[in-house]
Amino acid sequence: MAGAALITTSTRYQHAVSMTALAATMRTMSLRLIEAWNALATRCNPYALIALACAVLTGPLIFFRGYNSDEGLAVSIARTAIEDGDWLVPHVFNMRWVERPTLLSWIIAAISAPFGHVSQIAARLPVALFVLFGCVLIYLLLRRVAASVPAALFGAALFLACPLVIRSSVLVTADLPLAVTLFYAFYLWWCGNQGGSVGVARWLAIGVVLAAAGLFKGPQPIAYFALGVGFYILGSRSWRQIPGLILAGVICIIPLACWYAAIYTPGDEGNWAAFMRVRPVAILPGPIVAGLRTLSETFPAALAAAAFFVGHVLRGRSHVRPGFVAALSCYAFIAAIVVLFWPGGSLPRYFLPTVLPLCVFGGLGYDLFSDKRPQIVAPIMVITAALLLYATVYALASPFLPLRYRQAWFDAERITAAMQTAPGPLYRIGDTGLNVLPYVPGKILIATPDELANVEGPAWMLLPSGEAATLAARRPDKLHVVMPLGDVEQWRLLRLDR
Residues of the chain short of pLDDT 70, as ranges, are: 1-24, 316-318
Look at residues 145, 136, 131 and name the one whose alpha carbon lies nearest to residue 46. Answer: 136
Torsion of CA 400, 404, 406, 407, to 10 degrees: 140
Looking at residue 315, its pLDDT comes to: 72
CA angle in degrees (0–180, nearest 5) for 226-230-231: 120
Query: Domain spans of the chain?
Result: 1-43, 45-399, 406-496
Packed helices 2-43 and 149-161: angle between N→C axes, nearest 10 degrees: 100
Predicted TM-score of the model (pTM): 0.93
The neighbouring-strand residues paired with 492 are: 463, 484
The answer to whether the beta carbons of residues 150 and 41 sit under 8 Å apart is yes
Looking at residue 40, its pLDDT comes to: 92
User: What is the rounded distance in angstroms from the CA atom of residue 440 to the CA atom of residue 417?
Assistant: 10
Q: Verify cis geometry, omega within 30 degrees of 0, for the bond prior to 300.
A: yes
Look at residues 339, 343, 103, 79 and name the one whose alpha carbon lies nearest to residue 218. Answer: 103
User: What is the rounded distance in angstroms from the CA atom of residue 106 to the CA atom of residue 77?
Assistant: 8
Looking at residue 469, its pLDDT comes to: 92
Listed in sequence order, the residues at least 6 apart from 435 whose beta carbon sits closer than 8 Å to its beta carbon are 66, 67, 68, 69, 70, 71, 72, 408
Start-to-end CA span in the chain (Å): 103
Listed in sequence order, the residues at least 6 apart from 479 whose beta carbon sits closer than 8 Å to its beta carbon are 461, 471, 472, 494, 495, 496, 497
Looking at residue 8, its pLDDT comes to: 62
The Cα-based distances of 222 to 87, 137, 235 in angstroms read 23, 18, 20
> Within 13 Å, how many C-alpha atoms sit on residue 310's CB side?
10
- Per-residue pLDDT reduced to its tens digit, 103-162: 999 999 999 999 999 999 999 999 999 999 999 999 999 999 989 999 999 999 999 999
Per-residue 3-state assignment (H helix, E strand, C coil) for the chain: CHHHHHHHHHHHHHHHHHHHHHHHHHHHHHHHHHHHHHHHHHHCCHHHHHHHHHHHHHHHHHHHCCCCCCHHHHHHHHHHHHHHCCCCCCEECCEECCCCCCHHHHHHHHHHHHHCCCCHHHHHHHHHHHHHHHHHHHHHHHHHCCCCHHHHHHHHHHHHHCHHHHHHCCCCCCHHHHHHHHHHHHHHHHHHHHCCCCCHHHHHHHHHHHHHHHHHHCCHHHHHHHHHHHHHHHHCCCHHHHHHHHHHHHHHHHHHHHHHHHHCCCCHHHHHHHHCCCCCCCCCCCHHHHHHHHHHHCCCHHHHHHHHHHHHHHHCCCCCCCCHHHHHHHHHHHHHHHHHCCCCCCCHHHHHHHHHHHHHHHHHHHHHHCCCCHHHHHHHHHHHHHHHHHHHHHHHCHHHCHHHHCHHHHHHHHHHHHHCCCCCCEEECCCCCCCCHHHCCCCEEECCHHHHCCCCCCEEEEEEHHHHHHHHHHCCCCEEEEEEECCCCCEEEEEECC
- Per-residue pLDDT reduced to its tens digit, 31-47: 899 999 999 999 999 99
User: What is the rounded distance in angstroms from the CA atom of residue 152 to the CA atom of residue 364?
Assistant: 8
CATH code 2.60.120 for 406-496: no
Look at residues 382, 385, 364, 369 and name the one whose alpha carbon lies nearest to residue 151. Answer: 364
